[in-house]
Amino acid sequence: MSSTTALPQHYVELSSLCRDIASLTAIGSLIGWDQETYMPPAGAEGRSDQQALLSGITHERKTSKRFGELLAACEADASLMRPGTIEAANIRELRRDYDLSTKLPTSLVSELAKTTSQAQEAWKHARSTNNFPAFAPHLTEVLRLTRQKAECYGIPSFDGPAGPKSRKGELYDALLNEYEPDISAADIQQIFTPLQSRLSAFVAQITGSPIKLSAACAELGATTDQQQALALDVIKAIGFDLQAGRLDKTAHPFCSGIGPGDTRLTTRYTSRSFLEPLSSTLHEAGHGLYDQGLPKTEHFGLPSSDAVSLGIHESQSRMWENFVGRSREFCAYLVPLAKKHFGAAAANLTAEELFKASNTIRRSFIRVESDEATYNLHIMLRFEIERELISGQMEVADLPGEWNNRFKALLGLDVPDNAQGCLQDVHWSFGLIGYFPTYTLGNLYAAQIWETINAKIPDLHARIAQGDFAPLLTFLRENIHHHGRRYSATELCQRITGKPLSADPLMRYLEGKLKPLYQI
């Protein structure tokens, strides 16, 4: 990395604009966090004015003429564009962000904001009354505007056998690339197709097994305070820095990377089982560890201090939630902690019971209630459908029928109603199209990186059983977190694992763990 003093003025000024934009974004994140945690209900209307104003100011700066000029000056400066330098990577990524921000006309942005805001209300009502036709016209309109948005972005090209950017993508790729740059729907399809058939068959095998696992051992009636104390112990143990972060309660768990030294997790507790809230806390803490590991001190505001993509972010949350959190060794680590915090209620808890409870596989209609094995089937269904909706292959009117038929084929269940079918997720009403596949990409990246980590740290599992998570976190810090957006997700995967992304590691991982448990 070049020393800052030697950097040309246009790069220094551009970095300073970026830092201000990041500070504004941090403020937006904080007031959003406050809205979900501590804001009194009557503050909602004022808060929405504050958010709108701040978004406007932030957008103005992101798309300013000066930003564009400085960026162009940097691109024209050979001293900055030397391949392999952080500066060159930052300029490349800033160009990507600037183009995304400037390509949409203001009229489309506000039309989308208005339409999706109405669609969210319509969706809430349609889901609660199981009334798809009431939502259909809203979804049609969201899709129409989203296609327009994709056209404004332009269909991206990808590297191919004929050279860099030699492969033309499809309209859906323009949307996908907002969340997961440098990967095409066709690339994803190539990994998803074998995953889908193998996973579907594997789930059928599990379902057919006479072994039925139970999660009843986690139903200890632990109070919210007890669970919060346990959760704090666990996130501290895995390395989440509470001097630079918090854990609060909200209706829906999330992680918000506010700014340097300030990463906030939220979770929700149920008195029923302590495992589900703990998994969700581990998930958010996985996002949080990534956020805390980004080099925000030196590079705040620059892409080199940002996360690579939603898929890589999700790989971190899933790794801690599933690969660590649902392992036999983690359960062994957890038992004494549960006894410490839950007292007599946990007196008879065993690691093996907890391990089984953490790995009960059950087909269900609802994505967010599904388990490690079936989850990806839910995602692949959505990916297929939204891709066809964007290309025009599928009509909105046919969505419920198509959903139900494909769900039956994938999971062998008859969807009883649209509320438990195609109306269950909020995403499409928000205009989040191209977002779903990043969840499964996250699982795939996690599995492939996990295999490499296991090869490099032979005693990883023994360490986990002892509550020593440092070797794992150190690996993630050095190989992923510290790089920011220097490498794309594809490059990062290749650098760490030596191979392009494939379905094999995830299938090996699931089969290796679940076959013995279900005796299949």
What 3-state class would DSSP assign to 168?
strand
Question: Do the beta carbons of residue 475 and residue 456 sit within 8 Å?
Answer: yes
Whichever of 151 and 225 has its CB closer to a copy of itself, that residue is 225
- Confirm or reject binding of residue 57 to a copy of itself (CB under 8 A): yes
Q: Compute the distance between CA of residue 296 and CA of residue 309 in angstroms, rounded to an integer.
A: 17
Among residues 284, 314, 321, 384, which one is catalytic?
A: 284
Question: Do the beta carbons of residue 410 and residue 198 sit within 8 Å?
Answer: no
Q: Compute the distance between CA of residue 127 and CA of residue 426 in angstroms, rounded to an integer.
A: 10
List the interface residues with a copy of itself, window 150-209 (CB under 8 A): none
- HSE-CB at 200 with a 13 A cutoff on CA atoms is 19
Q: What angle do CA 286, 292, 298 make, to 5 degrees?
A: 150
Is 284 labeled as catalytic in the residue annotation?
A: yes
- Confirm or reject binding of residue 229 to a copy of itself (CB under 8 A): no
Whichever of 25 and 309 has its CB closer to a copy of itself, that residue is 25
Whichever of 38 and 252 has its CB closer to a copy of itself, that residue is 38
Residue type, 31: I
Q: Which residue has the tokens 């309109």?
A: 141
CB of 49 to a copy of itself, least distance (A): 5
Whichever of 72 and 113 has its CB closer to a copy of itself, that residue is 113
Whichever of 256 and 440 has its CB closer to a copy of itself, that residue is 256
List the interface residues with a copy of itself, window 241-260 (CB under 8 A): 241-246, 248, 258-260
Q: Taking the CB of residue 56, how many other CB atoms lie within 10 A of it? A: 10
Q: Compute the distance between CA of residue 239 and CA of residue 336 in angstroms, rounded to an integer.
A: 19
- Confirm or reject binding of residue 294 to a copy of itself (CB under 8 A): no
Q: Compute the distance between CA of residue 205 and CA of residue 519 in angstroms, rounded to an integer.
A: 10
Q: Which residue has the tokens 């339409």?
A: 115
CB of 174 to a copy of itself, least distance (A): 33
User: Which tokens sit at 185?
Assistant: 């729907």
Q: Taking the CB of residue 127, how many other CB atoms lie within 10 A of it? A: 21
* From candidates 2, 32, 36, 54, binder to a copy of itself by CB under 8 A: 54
CB of 352 to a copy of itself, least distance (A): 37
CB of 33 to a copy of itself, least distance (A): 9
CB of 476 to a copy of itself, least distance (A): 20
- Confirm or reject binding of residue 345 to a copy of itself (CB under 8 A): no
CB of 92 to a copy of itself, least distance (A): 26
The window from 16-24, 188-196, 224-232, 345-353 that contacts a copy of itself (CB under 8 A) reads 16-24
CB of 419 to a copy of itself, least distance (A): 31
Please, which residues have CB within 8 angstroms of residue 289's CB and are 6 or more apart in sequence? 238, 239, 240, 316, 320, 473, 476, 481
Whichever of 45 and 414 has its CB closer to a copy of itself, that residue is 45
CB of 8 to a copy of itself, least distance (A): 23
Whichever of 243 and 519 has its CB closer to a copy of itself, that residue is 243
- Confirm or reject binding of residue 506 to a copy of itself (CB under 8 A): no
Determine the size of the site formed for a copy of itself (CB under 8 A).
38
- The DSSP code sequence of 427-493 is GGGGT--S-THHHHHHHHHHHHHHHHHHHH-TTHHHHHHTT--HHHHHHHHHHTGGGTTSS-HHHHH
Question: Which stretches within 38-105 are classed as H helix?
Answer: 44-62, 65-75, 86-103
CB of 249 to a copy of itself, least distance (A): 12
Site string for a copy of itself, 19-48 (x = CB under 8 A): xx--xx-xx--xx--x---xxxxxxxxxx-
Whichever of 226 and 429 has its CB closer to a copy of itself, that residue is 226
List the interface residues with a copy of itself, window 261-290 (CB under 8 A): 261-263
CB of 6 to a copy of itself, least distance (A): 24
Element of type H or E holding 158: strand 157-160
- Confirm or reject binding of residue 295 to a copy of itself (CB under 8 A): no
- Confirm or reject binding of residue 239 to a copy of itself (CB under 8 A): no
- Per-residue burial over 381-418, b if 16 or more Cβ lie within 10 Å, else e, is bbbbbbbbbbeeebebeebbebbbebbeebbeeebeeb
User: Which tokens sit at 240?
Assistant: 């989440």
Question: Do the beta carbons of residue 192 and residue 380 sit within 8 Å?
Answer: yes
- HSE-CB at 413 with a 13 A cutoff on CA atoms is 18
Site string for a copy of itself, 366-395 (x = CB under 8 A): ------------------------------
- Confirm or reject binding of residue 12 to a copy of itself (CB under 8 A): no
Please, which residues have CB within 8 angstroms of residue 52's CB and are 6 or more apart in sequence? none
Question: Do the beta carbons of residue 31 and residue 54 sit within 8 Å?
Answer: yes
Whichever of 56 and 401 has its CB closer to a copy of itself, that residue is 56
Site string for a copy of itself, 111-150 (x = CB under 8 A): ----------------------------------------
Whichever of 305 and 490 has its CB closer to a copy of itself, that residue is 305
Q: Which residues bind a copy of itself (CB under 8 A)?
A: 19-20, 23-24, 26-27, 30-31, 34, 38-47, 49-50, 53-54, 57, 241-246, 248, 258-263, 300
Supply the residues annotated as catalytic. 284
